[in-house]
Chain A
């Protein structure tokens, strides 16, 4: 019996448990003298009480069993006479065992190593044996716990309170999953980065200026893992060019929408801007690579700029900026709308014009919120991948010429990890180090931005 069938069986039994729990509670209720004193909770809660008791312990047991049983299975397989012919070397042994296991589970059809084939039978036996034990134990638990809970049903059982507590636990679990996952990602990045730094010095990585990753060191011991050109490219595209485009346009569009646009126009312009924020970035990538980049190159050539490349920082940056506009605009929109109307009235009542009021009162008052929004936008821009992969190019140039090609951290991560790679060469591990740097920088930017925005919100509450 496979785990999935078993799980469905347990859930099915849980439904029965629910039904019987409810039935018993209803019976108690009917036999009670006054409707209020008869039963503490509604029959439904009693049903859930029994069902949860039947399902949850068994499910937990199954989860634990699935962790424990592989080791038990391997031990059992090794105890069989067939294991006598296995080589003594741990590495070769492990390879044979894993192959045999794969065949036994039906994930693989043929063995490369004849020795593996001999181990398949013992494995099969062990697997069916332990699966049987697990299934029987789980079903026994379903019955035992279900019956225990069913016997518990008495008029004064506080089933409702208990169900409430379980509900709270489920919600807590749900909210923890995202956090735990993030921590897990962070830890895996840290470990891989530590492996990378055991091969390449962190100083060389963080402050080196030559990016040309190789698996083996060059003649003078250089490894080409200097990430400064990547950091520069990322900042140049994401924090400089994209922001030069996004900040003024986003701010001006927010000002128009909050201050000047008639209600009708705002009613359809704002949703359109928000829809733009949901366009897949790969679409922007096409636009950058196929339309903007060639046009910019032709323009650069026509005005005689040397070094113009068809994959330019400017094309990627401008398109990224356009992608970010809705984001900046909506953050600025919120900040401007949060400025109390008393400020605006105060300024207008002094005889200031509309635009003077915006320039001298609204924008300064909204500035912290706008700055927070811009920081969030920067953190998005530097983590953005698709546009730069398609339009920014791979050459790790340290240049301020926006028409030439630069590369970014995200582009290089994609480069390092695509294709068949060994996962223990510095070349691949460098991707994790880059990822960690990116993770920390965007995390810090987000932290600062959220703090700025929060502080600003407090100022007007």
Chain B
């Protein structure tokens, strides 16, 4: 990692200088993922316009902004889920520990194992709880035997705070769980392949307040073990769970900084208008 980091430094420093003017840099911590001048097009329509951002290992990063501002689109670029949309085209650089994730050397399968994703609507597979968690380890060959797989399943469920609730019914279908449990199952499933980054696309928007509180608590606990990026519509949620906040508007990154700064003392007027609920 250090070698990669050193090789990357020259270009990094160049980028830093032009970013300094707009304040896109992160201070403190090592950037786990860096994006520079990213544009995304759906056909002729530009959805993301020149976004540069750093995601740190030790903090939770929240993407906020009005509907259609491109925050989910950008999130999906970070593990190349946009590849599934034939008309989507991404330009610019997105680096995971200095490796360009859009280069031809990057194996998308490996990338997605390192950068996991949790979706807006809980989407457990119509399989048993055990098989849901074991899915990733199995396809990536992470466990050599049944016992090791059992361990991975247990520890993943434990980290997702779901073990106590489901340990007696691992063979039940994952779709039989409640919405909040399903979403924690999906988080556990993402954790099971031991990713470095977890992307969460509005993970609580389909959940009730109690289930939401549990997920937020879980995000707190996972912080530091994984770099977490969360897209949310809920500004209180961004304030509660994140240390860094990025405000997107019409496909551009308006402001990126410490969550406390964004919410109490935003530099940009647009950010202030959005935070105070004047539009969006």
Contacts and interface: CB of A to CB of B under 8 A. Distances in A.
Interface in A109-130: none
B151 interface: no
Given A342-B121, A345-B81, A356-B139, A350 B112 contact: yes
B126 A364 contact: yes
A151 interface: no
Contact of A360 (B116, B139, B193): B139
A365 B112 contact: no
Contacts of B112: 348-351
Nearest to A350: B136
Contacts of B223: none
Contacts of A345: 81, 84, 117, 119, 123
A346, A350, A364, A365 — which one has the most chain B CB atoms within 10 A of its CB? Answer: A350
Contacts of A459: 126, 175
A27 interface: no
Contacts of A168: none
Interface string A268-286: 0000000000000000000
Given A349-B116, A353-B109, A342 B123 contact: yes
B126 A350 contact: no
Interface string A338-350: 0010111111111
B189 interface: yes
Interface in B222-264: none
Interface string B172-187: 0001000000000010
B160 interface: no
Nearest to B195: A351
A347 B126 CA distance: 12
A232 B152 CA distance: 51
Interface residues of A, number: 20
A350 B135 contact: yes
A360 B84 contact: no
Interface in A336-374: 340, 342-353, 356, 360-361, 364-365
Contacts of A343: 123, 125-126
A346 B175 CA distance: 14
Contacts of A353: 109, 139
Contacts of A365: 125-126
A351 B123 contact: no
A352 B139 CA distance: 7
Nearest to B109: A351
Given A342-B119, A342-B121, A347 B135 contact: yes
Contacts of B193: 350-351
A52 B86 CA distance: 59
Contacts of B139: 350-353, 356, 360
Contacts of A340: 123
A361 B123 CA distance: 11
Nearest to B175: A459
B6 to A, nearest CB: 28
Interface in B154-200: 175, 186, 189-190, 193
A347 B119 CA distance: 11
Contacts of B72: none
B110 A351 contact: yes
A340 B119 CA distance: 13
A356 B138 CA distance: 11
Interface string B70-93: 000000000101001010000000
B113 interface: yes
Contacts of A347: 125, 135
Nearest to B137: A350
B125 A349 contact: no
Given A342-B119, A350-B135, A350-B136, 12 more contacts: A342-B123, A344-B84, A345-B119, A346-B186, A349-B190, A351-B112, A351-B193, A352-B109, A352-B139, A365-B125, A365-B126, A459-B175
- 8 nearest A-B residue pairs (beta carbon): A351-B113, A342-B123, A349-B117, A351-B112, A346-B123, A350-B136, A351-B109, A352-B139
Interface of B: 79, 81, 84, 86, 109-113, 116-117, 119, 121, 123-127, 135-136, 139-140, 175, 186, 189-190, 193
23 contacts: A340-B123, A342-B123, A345-B81, A346-B186, A346-B189, A347-B125, A349-B116, A349-B117, A350-B189, A350-B190, A351-B110, A351-B112, A351-B136, A351-B140, A351-B193, A352-B109, A352-B135, A353-B109, A356-B139, A364-B125, A364-B126, A365-B125, A365-B126
